[in-house]
Structure 1
Amino acid sequence: MVTTRLTTESRTRALAALERSAEPGGTLDVLVIGGGVTGAGIALDAATRGLTTAMVEAQDWGSGTSGRSSKLVHGGLRYLQMLDFHLVREALTERDLLLKELAPHLVRPVPFLYPLEHRVWERAYVGAGIALYDTLATIGRGRRAMPWHRHLSRRRLAERFPDLAHDAAVGAVQYWDASVDDARLVTTLVRTAAGHGAHAASRTQVVDLTKDAEGTVDGAVVVDLETGREIAVRARHVINATGVWTEDTEALAGDQGGLRVLASKGVHVVVPRDRIRGEAGLILQTPVSVLFVIPWSRYWILGTTDTPWELDPTHPVATAADVDYVLDQANSVLSSALGREDVVGTYAGLRPLLQPGTKEGTSSAKVSREHTVASPTPGLTVVAGGKLTTYRVMAKDAVDFALGDGAAARPGITHEIPLLGAEGLESAREDAAGWARRYGWTTAMVDHLLHRYGASLLEIVELCRADPSLARPLAQAPAYLRAEVHYAVSHEGALHLEDVLAHRTRLVYEVPDGALAAAGEIAAVVAPLLGWDDAARDAELEAYTARVRAETAAAGEPDDAAAAAVRGRAEDVAPMRPLRT
Structure 2
Amino acid sequence: MANRKPRTTAEGRADSGRATGRLGVAERVDSWRRLSEETFDLVIVGGGVVGTGAALDAATRGLRVALVEARDLASGTSSRSSKLFHGGLRYLEQLEFGLVREALRERELVLTRLAPHLVKPVSFLYPLTHRFWERPYVASGLLLYDTMGGARSVPGQRHLTRAGALRMMPALKRDALIGAVRYYDAQADDARYTLTLARTAAHYGAVVRSSTQVTAFLREADRVCGVRVRDAENGEETDVRAHAVINATGVWTDELQRLSGSRGRFRVRASKGVHIVVPRDRIVSETGLILRTEKSVLFVIPWRNHWIIGTTDTDWNLHLAHPAATKADIDYILEHVNAVLATPLTHDDIEGVYAGLRPLLAGESEETSKLSREHAVARVAPGLVAIAGGKYTTYRVMAADAVDAASADLPGRVAPSITDKVPLLGADGYHALVNQVDQLGARYGLHPYRVRHLLDRYGSAIYEVLDLALDEPELLRPVPAAPDYLRVEVVYAASYEGALHVEDVLARRMRISIEYPHRGVDSAEPVARLVGGVLGWDEATIAREVEVYRARVDAERDSQTQPDDQAADASRAAAPEIRPEILEQVS
- Structure 1 distance, partners of 2:416, 2:409, is 11
Q: Structure 2 residue aligned with 1:453, among 427, 450, 458?
A: 458
Partner of 2:294, secondary structure, is coil
8 Å CA contact 1:39, 1:242 repeated in 2: yes
8 Å CA contact 2:55, 2:66 repeated in 1: yes
Q: Structure 2 residue aligned with 1:521, among 518, 526, 529?
A: 526
Equivalent position of 1:539 in the other structure: 544
8 Å CA contact 1:38, 1:392 repeated in 2: yes
1:206-225 superposed Cα distances (whole Å, 9 cap, x missing partner): 01112102x11111110001
Letter in 2 for 1:2: R
- Structure 2 distance, partners of 1:356, 1:116, is 34
Matched, 1:240 2:247: yes
Q: Quick one: structure 1 residues 15 and 560, their matched pair in 2 at CA, closer, same or farther if it must change by over 3 Å?
A: same
Equivalent position of 1:117 in the other structure: 129
1:103-147 superposed Cα distances (whole Å, 9 cap, x missing partner): 001000001111000232100100110011111143xx7xx1111
Q: Pick which of 158-167 and 424-433 moved more.
A: 424-433
8 Å CA contact 2:231, 2:237 repeated in 1: yes
Displacement of 1:569 in angstroms is 1.1
8 Å CA contact 2:171, 2:283 repeated in 1: yes
Matched, 1:489 2:501: no
Matched, 1:390 2:377: no
Q: Quick one: structure 1 residues 128 and 564, their matched pair in 2 at CA, closer, same or farther if it must change by over 3 Å?
A: same
Equivalent position of 1:101 in the other structure: 113
Equivalent position of 1:284 in the other structure: 291
Letter in 2 for 1:577: L
8 Å CA contact 1:38, 1:391 repeated in 2: yes
Equivalent position of 1:362 in the other structure: none
Equivalent position of 1:293 in the other structure: 300
Equivalent position of 2:34 in the other structure: 17
Equivalent position of 1:429 in the other structure: 434
Q: Structure 2 residue aligned with 1:222, among 226, 229, 235?
A: 229
Displacement of 1:446 in angstroms is 2.3
- Structure 1 distance, partners of 2:447, 2:175, is 39
Q: Quick one: structure 1 residues 251 and 103, their matched pair in 2 at CA, closer, same or farther if it must change by over 3 Å?
A: same
Equivalent position of 2:3 in the other structure: none
Q: How does 1:110-189 map to 2 (within 5 A)?
A: 110-138=122-150, 144-189=152-197
Q: Pick which of 438-447 and 28-37 moved more.
A: 438-447
Equivalent position of 2:383 in the other structure: 379
Equivalent position of 1:402 in the other structure: 406
Q: Quick one: structure 1 residues 410 and 423, their matched pair in 2 at CA, closer, same or farther if it must change by over 3 Å?
A: same
- Structure 2 distance, partners of 1:440, 1:161, is 37
Q: Structure 2 residue aligned with 1:2, among 12, 18, 23?
A: 18
Q: Structure 2 residue aligned with 1:261, among 257, 262, 268?
A: 268
Displacement of 1:440 in angstroms is 4.5
Question: Structure 2 regions of 5+ residues with no counterpart?
Answer: 1-16, 365-371
Matched, 1:571 2:576: yes
- Structure 1 distance, partners of 2:466, 2:216, is 43
8 Å CA contact 1:208, 1:579 repeated in 2: no
8 Å CA contact 1:246, 1:259 repeated in 2: no
Displacement of 1:50 in angstroms is 0.6
Matched, 1:210 2:218: yes
Displacement of 1:526 in angstroms is 1.4
Q: Structure 2 residue aligned with 1:324, among 327, 331, 334?
A: 331
Displacement of 1:328 in angstroms is 0.8
Equivalent position of 1:200 in the other structure: 208
Matched, 1:57 2:69: yes
* TM-score relative to the length of structure 2: 0.93
- Structure 1 distance, partners of 2:464, 2:214, is 33
Letter in 2 for 1:486: V
Matched, 1:28 2:76: no
Partner of 2:155, secondary structure, is coil
- Structure 2 distance, partners of 1:282, 1:19, is 50
1:458-489 superposed Cα distances (whole Å, 9 cap, x missing partner): 11221122211111112311100111111111
Percent identical: 53
8 Å CA contact 1:112, 1:282 repeated in 2: yes
Displacement of 1:579 in angstroms is 4.8
- Structure 1 distance, partners of 2:280, 2:385, is 43
- Structure 1 distance, partners of 2:437, 2:496, is 20
- Structure 2 distance, partners of 1:272, 1:507, is 13
Letter in 2 for 1:371: H
Partner of 1:2, secondary structure, is helix
Partner of 1:62, secondary structure, is coil
- Structure 1 distance, partners of 2:409, 2:549, is 48
8 Å CA contact 2:255, 2:586 repeated in 1: no
1:136-162 superposed Cα distances (whole Å, 9 cap, x missing partner): 143xx7xx1111111011111011100
8 Å CA contact 1:208, 1:580 repeated in 2: no
Displacement of 1:438 in angstroms is 4.4
- Structure 2 distance, partners of 1:514, 1:148, is 37
1:217-236 superposed Cα distances (whole Å, 9 cap, x missing partner): 11111000111001111110
8 Å CA contact 1:428, 1:458 repeated in 2: no
Matched, 1:512 2:528: no
Displacement of 1:330 in angstroms is 0.6
Matched, 1:464 2:476: no
Letter in 1 for 2:378: A
- Structure 2 distance, partners of 1:258, 1:319, is 33
- Structure 2 distance, partners of 1:489, 1:430, is 29
Question: Structure 1 regions of 5+ residues with no counterpart?
Answer: 22-26, 358-367
Q: Structure 2 residue aligned with 1:420, among 417, 425, 432?
A: 425
Equivalent position of 1:24 in the other structure: none
8 Å CA contact 2:434, 2:452 repeated in 1: no
Displacement of 1:369 in angstroms is 5.2
Matched, 1:348 2:316: no
8 Å CA contact 2:513, 2:520 repeated in 1: yes
Displacement of 1:450 in angstroms is 1.1
Partner of 1:466, secondary structure, is coil
Equivalent position of 2:11 in the other structure: none
- Structure 2 distance, partners of 1:13, 1:154, is 61
Partner of 1:441, secondary structure, is coil
- Structure 2 distance, partners of 1:353, 1:287, is 20
8 Å CA contact 2:361, 2:389 repeated in 1: yes
8 Å CA contact 1:8, 1:495 repeated in 2: no
8 Å CA contact 1:464, 1:471 repeated in 2: yes
The CA RMSD measured in Å over matched residues stands at 1.7
Letter in 2 for 1:404: A
* TM-score relative to the length of structure 1: 0.94
Displacement of 1:288 in angstroms is 1.6
- Structure 1 distance, partners of 2:49, 2:579, is 21
Q: Structure 1 residue aligned with 2:278, among 271, 286, 294?
A: 271
Q: Pick which of 9-18 and 217-226 moved more.
A: 9-18
- Structure 2 distance, partners of 1:351, 1:18, is 30
- Structure 2 distance, partners of 1:238, 1:134, is 39
Partner of 1:479, secondary structure, is strand
